[in-house]
Chains A and B, each alone.
Chain A
């Protein structure tokens, strides 16, 4: 069965530090992969997506993610974190029919000044 694992429940970084959020997926075919961000009390906003082609994808707000098939991973990165990046981040894989998305449990990011 398809699944998404985000190993880190909480991460704390200092403002200006680099960030990497981990995501591992389980899916037999070539996956459609997504990262979403959710600020408190808000819905999910699409940060970036991978369908095919270049394995390093750029997203909004300075985020990027790299698809590594050999590791079944799609880690999210940002070179310099801003205080406004504090939020919860969800990795998702498109799986099965009717446009179903399978979400990970999320990683909550805290940013220290």
Chain B
């Protein structure tokens, strides 16, 4: 595997389900990010992790719970979601020493909440 991978690529879940999105980066980076991309809205930064520590939470509802066990892996745990949470969830990673702000993205998980 190379770059940033995300699983699953597609997920359909009911509002009462609990599921998790997984992101793995194979680039040796030390920062990881979750973004939400909804139709007709700009990319929304959700969470930032630097060296496994959460450094940004952009007022994201508690039904989204991130976890970063190490610098290579990032999870987004989902529960009791709403239909408006349907979106493409993108993971990204970066390494400041390789290029400030230069982020590399995974292919995303298309989430549909029914």
Interface residues in chain A, defined as those with a beta carbon under 8 Å from any beta carbon in chain B: 32, 34, 36, 41-46, 49, 51, 90, 94, 97-101, 103-106
Contact = CB atoms under 8 A, between A and B. Distances in A.
Given A98-B56, A99-B31, A105-B42, A41 B110 contact: yes
B48 A103 contact: no
Interface stretch (B11-19, B59-67, B79-87, B95-103): B95-103
A98 B105 contact: no
Main secondary structure of the interface of B (DSSP, over half): strand
B102 A49 contact: yes
11 contacts: A43-B4, A43-B106, A43-B108, A46-B104, A49-B99, A49-B102, A98-B31, A98-B55, A98-B56, A99-B94, A101-B103
Interface of B: 4, 6, 31, 41-43, 45, 48, 50, 55-56, 90, 92, 94, 96, 99-108, 110
Contact of A103 (B4, B6, B42, B108): B42
B50 A98 contact: yes
A104 to B, nearest CB: 7
Contacts of B101: 32, 34, 94, 99-101
Given A43-B4, A44-B90, A99-B96, 4 more contacts: A43-B6, A99-B94, A100-B56, A103-B42
